[in-house]
Structure formats: structure tokens, C-alpha cells
Amino acid sequence: MTTSPIKTAEDKSTTQMNKAAELISVSKKYPFVKTAHKDIGSDFKEFWALRDVSLDIYQGQVLGIIGRNGAGKTTLLNIIAGVLSPTQGEVIVKGKILGLFNLGVGFQDELTGKENIFLNGAIVGATREELENKLNSIIEFSELGNFINMPLGTYSQGMRLRLAFSIIANLDFDILVIDEVLAVGDALFQSKCFQRLMDFRRAGKTLIITTQSMELIERLCDRVTLLDHGSLLFQGNTLEGINRYRSLLNTEEFFVGPEKQKVCLFENTKKWAEDVSNWGQKLGTKEVTIDSVEFINKFGLKSNQIKSKEPLKIKVYFTAKDNIKEPHFGIAIFRNDGVYCYGPNTEFDGYKIPEIKAGRGWFALDYHQILLAPGEYQVSVAIWDKNETLAFDYHNGCHKLIIQGPRNTNGLLRMPFKVYPKSFINFRRSDINVDLNTLIDKWGKRIETDQIIIESVKLLNYLNEEKEVFKTNEPVKLLINFSKLINYSKNAYLWVGLYRDDGVYCQGITQGLGKGKNFKIVFPKLPLLPGGYRISLGIWDSLSRRFLICHHAVYPFHMVFNRQDHGTIFLEHKWALSTKEMRIK
């Protein structure tokens, strides 16, 4: 179970109001019976659906209960409505309470709509006379017309909702509980329901609703309660609650065991962050807010245009509302098509920040060298709580960074390397701009010619041992041996492409062929981050603009690292914090 460090906010404005219902430290445990099914019994001895939930529900207010699936919302509603009884704690309800739970509940398919009105009405405690008096208004509100005399089995989900809501909406109650069913109705009926609910609110009735539609919550609710894993995370202002819920939604995977939780969390955040459609969003509970983000070049000047292979400092100013224990900072760079370049955070880097004090402050990330190819990038900045379950503030892909360089390339990276033998042939760089479009559909395939034969391609570590797995930042040599290399023009060049397993073009290397048949490419430090990679190799004729030979993504290798990191390339960096509280663990 995840506990949030965020305390429940008390809103003082409501203390003078009358309580319609009150939950005092309510917990609910579901018992599980022995079954012939061994699978269920082993892991699920018992299940606490709610833990220590205290809640005040004020008369005439609309309370929204939000949280992810399985957070305990329905259990909570059932307990308020008296359908379930709490295992621990106490529930005090004043007045008559009605509930609208799952559709089809309380209905009999064999009976007609009209007959179901009487049955359903009787179940929720209405007398026959009351129902007979209200029959017409119920049928009218439902707009079911002649269908009211058809068996309920012929109804669609939406029609069932119409009937169910119409019955409830015409009966007398003090508190109404509605569980996630309104979404089934069509837009017209939904707005009709909405109108009726507003009428109830004006009439001083108390409403408690759950729905995944934050729009509805925002329009309808006076207050919200945020539940997660059976615990109450927040109670108070609607917008604030919705924000907290949204940030919760984006940070954590569902029912994962505590030991797996952390890894999944990172993975999930990564996936979410890489989705370009989520960019530009600012999320978080705003306990700490990011005020501004600055890019600083090697001269110490603010500029979002940085030269490739030069130092870059990213400085983030923030304001904390309160003292925050053990926050984490993270900054991630994405290429503007969503490719994750690098996203270090203080957690991965082993920095421990005991506390940030209330007030303004800043933190900074210093890159020694931005080994990224020229192009446009987006930067995400986040301040997390200590468990990384909640972001205090999260600017996702909000800050544009432009990397400038000598020429545009298709690649992502500019990792330093050396090629032997050095070519003495002069060429204009634009001439050898390899057209990668000619390689579409050739992934993993070979374009061959009998003029040229590639004898071997080897990857060596610093001990000259042939390997397929390397550690990030290990020296790597690539040996290429042609056994036959005849009849090529002066316009032919060796091209070596580094690809990520998913097809992202990391870096291309071009080199004049010279006279030799053996080539050696040396990376003094190969900074690629863990994952699968592939090497492409070819000879490009810049006059005919085609490959004479090409083995495209044929040679795989793997990268591993002794620590967690996100992205494609490790960029050397260090963190700094305004107050000198940051220290390496």
C-alpha cells in the first residue's frame, strides 16, 4: 500500500454546516471463503478495501469521491448507504438514504418496466401509494414511452439507467448516493440528470457521487474526497482534489506488489512521458511549484539555443509552500518527436536531499557536454515526493531547447569517436548525406553485390575481446573487414549507422574509403544507455545516391548499466541546489 505524505486538508468554511452523515475511522475487510479454487486462497487471505477513513458529509453539499478503479470508492458508498457494514469504525447517517449502484441491480429482466418501478420502489422503501402517485412522473422523466410496458430484458444499458435514475429521482430522500452509472446515459439524458441533481442540491439534499468523469465532478461537486488503495488521500476543494488525482493517475501502476511498485512506477512514468500527446501538461499537487526554467550556455548566459557538444546548465526556480522532506528532482530531455534522450533524477544519481524549506529556491543540472545532434528538443522538469508516487509539480515537455550544430543530421547523438585509417580523400560533407529513405523496409536485411564482400564485423571491448554486451561508458571498438573491395568510385563512402532496437537512428558515421580493406571505429567511451542496439553497415555511392552494399541493422549488441537511468544516452552531469543541503549519500 502506498501512503502519501500529503495530509488531508481541512476546509474551515464547512465546519458551521450541519452534518448529514459522518464516518468515523471506518475500515472494511472483505472476508474470503475457502473455495475449491486454490488459486484464490493462497494470495488473497483477506483484503482491506478501506482503511481508517474518516469523512464528514455536510447537508446540502455535493461530495465527489474520486480515485482509481479499486481504490475503494464503491465500498465506501455501500457503507454510507448501509448496504455493507464497516468492519471497524462507525457510520452515522441522518435521514433517509437512497442509492443508485450498478445498473440492473434491483431490476428483474422478466418483468416490465412498470412492474420494475413498483418492485424497485418497494425495495428502496417506498410505499405502493407513493409509487402509484409518482408513476406518471417517473415514466415521463425516463422518456421511455411505450417501452415501459416491455420486459426489462429488452432494455439497453442506457434505458436501464433512465429507468433507475427516474425512480430514484422521483422518490423522497435526504441523501442520495450515485455510483459511476451516469456515464451510460446519452448526452441529453445526462444533462437532464445533471439538472435534476442541481435541483436536489438547491433543495438542500445531500449528494454523494463517484465517477471517472472529472468534468462532471468539477461541474457538480462542492467538495471531493480522493481515495487510493483504501486510504483517504485528500478531502476538500474540488479542483485541488482533481489535480491530485490526475497526478496520482500518471505516476503509478495499478495493483502491483510493494517490491515491484517502484520499478513499475518508473517504467510507467517513462512510458507516459514519452507520449508526445501528453506534452505541455503541467500536473502536480502544487505543494511545490516550479516558477521558471532557465537554460544557461557555457558563457553563463541565458539562452535556449545551445551549441552541440558544449556545456549546458538547466536551472529551475521553485517555491515551496511548506517544508518538504526528501523531495526528488528530475529533468528529462526529449527530441521533439518523443524520443527520450536522457532523464536523470536525484534518486537515480544517489543524491539525498533531507529537506527543502518553505519559500523560494532553485536547483540546477550541469551537463559537461551535450552530445545531442542539432535539432529541437523539449525538456520536462519534475519535483517528486519521497516515494515518487506524487508529483508536487511536473512540467511535461514544456520547455523548448534548441541544439545548434555544424549541420543537420538524421541521427540523435553526437558521441565522440575516431576512425582508422584516416581518410585522405577530400570530400564535401554535403555530398555524403546518406539517404536513409533508401533503407525503408530493409531493416535486418542485406543489400549485396558481388563487387564487395564484407568479411567480418566485430565489436571488441578494451581487452580486445569480442563481445555483444557492453557496459555504458565502456571503451568499444568496431572492426570492419572487407575481403573484396573493388570497382568502387571515388564517390563511395563507408557508412556505419547505430540504431536503437526500436528503429531510432542514434548516430551515423561516414568515412572516405581510402585504400585499405580494414576499418576500425573507436568509441573511447560508449555512452549508450541499457537496451538493445543494432549496427548498420554499408557503402554509399554519393553520385548515384544509392547503397552499393548494405547490411542494415544486422549486427546487434546490448548495453547494460550498473544503475537505473532513463533515455538513450548517458550525459555526464552534476546536480546543484540553492541551499547547501544537497549531499551525496
Partner 1 sequence: MVSIIKDVIAKRSLIYQLVLKDLKIRYLRPLLGFFWAFLSPFLVVVIFYIVFSMILKVKTEEAPFLLYLMSAVFSWRFFQDSLLSATTSLVDNKNLIKESSFSHYLIPISIVLANAINFFPSLVIVVVTSLFVLKGLPIYILFLPIVLGIHLSLAIGLSIILSIAYVKWRDIKYILEAVLLFLFYLTPVFYSIKLVKDSFSPFLFSAYIYNPLVGILNLYRATILKDFFIYIEKYVSLSSLIIVPAGFAIAILVLGFYFYKKNKNSINDYLSY
Q: Which residues make up the interface to partner 1 (CB under 8 A)? A: 30-31, 33, 78, 81-85, 97-99, 101-102, 104-108, 110-111, 115, 118-120, 122-125, 127-128
In whole angstroms, the minimum distance from the beta carbon of 81 to partner 1 comes to 7
Question: How many angstroms separate the CA atoms of 332 and 369, rounded?
Answer: 15
Question: How many angstroms separate the CA atoms of 445 and 420, rounded?
Answer: 26
Q: By C-beta, is 110 or 322 nearer to partner 1?
A: 110
Q: By C-beta, is 50 or 288 nearer to partner 1?
A: 50
Q: By C-beta, is 101 or 234 nearer to partner 1?
A: 101
Residue pair 423/516 in contact (Cβ under 8 Å)? The answer is: no
In whole angstroms, the minimum distance from the beta carbon of 103 to partner 1 comes to 10
In whole angstroms, the minimum distance from the beta carbon of 100 to partner 1 comes to 8
In 309-390, DSSP assigns E strands to 312-320, 324-325, 328-335, 340-342, 351-352, 355-356, 359-367, 375-384
Q: By C-beta, is 22 or 115 nearer to partner 1?
A: 115
In whole angstroms, the minimum distance from the beta carbon of 54 to partner 1 comes to 20
Residue pair 547/540 in contact (Cβ under 8 Å)? The answer is: yes
Q: By C-beta, is 122 or 554 nearer to partner 1?
A: 122
In whole angstroms, the minimum distance from the beta carbon of 97 to partner 1 comes to 8
Residue pair 381/405 in contact (Cβ under 8 Å)? The answer is: no
In whole angstroms, the minimum distance from the beta carbon of 387 to partner 1 comes to 31
Among 491, 503, 565, 561, CA closest to 534: 503
Residue 506 CB-half CA count within 13 A: 28
Question: How many angstroms separate the CA atoms of 447 and 437, rounded?
Answer: 14
Count other C-beta atoms under 10 Å from residue 343's C-beta: 23
In whole angstroms, the minimum distance from the beta carbon of 25 to partner 1 comes to 17
In whole angstroms, the minimum distance from the beta carbon of 149 to partner 1 comes to 13
Whether residue 421 has a cis bond before it, omega within 30° of 0: yes
Q: By C-beta, is 164 or 439 nearer to partner 1?
A: 164
Q: By C-beta, is 153 or 532 nearer to partner 1?
A: 153
Residue pair 320/356 in contact (Cβ under 8 Å)? The answer is: yes
Rounded to 5°, the CA angle 447-451-456 comes to 65
Residue 143 CB-half CA count within 13 A: 11
Count other C-beta atoms under 10 Å from residue 508's C-beta: 20
Among 251, 280, 281, 345, CA closest to 6: 251
In whole angstroms, the minimum distance from the beta carbon of 139 to partner 1 comes to 18
Q: By C-beta, is 152 or 390 nearer to partner 1?
A: 152
Question: b vs e for 42-68, b when ≥16 Cβ sit within 10 Å of the residue's Cβ?
Answer: eeeeeebbbbebebbbbbbbbbbbbbb
Question: How many angstroms separate the CA atoms of 80 and 540, rounded?
Answer: 73
Q: By C-beta, is 160 or 573 nearer to partner 1?
A: 160
Q: Which residues contact 99 (CB under 8 A, 6 or more apart)?
A: 77, 78, 81, 83, 124, 176, 177, 178, 179
Rounded to 5°, the CA angle 488-494-496 comes to 150
Q: By C-beta, is 87 or 449 nearer to partner 1?
A: 87
Question: How many angstroms separate the CA atoms of 517 and 480, rounded?
Answer: 8
Q: By C-beta, is 78 or 378 nearer to partner 1?
A: 78
Residue 186: φ, ψ to 5°: -75, 170
In whole angstroms, the minimum distance from the beta carbon of 258 to partner 1 comes to 25
In whole angstroms, the minimum distance from the beta carbon of 26 to partner 1 comes to 13
In whole angstroms, the minimum distance from the beta carbon of 243 to partner 1 comes to 32
Q: By C-beta, is 97 or 526 nearer to partner 1?
A: 97
Q: By C-beta, is 161 or 432 nearer to partner 1?
A: 161
The grid coordinates of residue 552 equal 542494415
Q: What's 17's DSSP letter?
A: S
Q: Find the largest Cα–Cα distance for the chain.
A: 104
Residue carrying the nine cell digits 438547491? 202
Count other C-beta atoms under 10 Å from residue 23's C-beta: 22
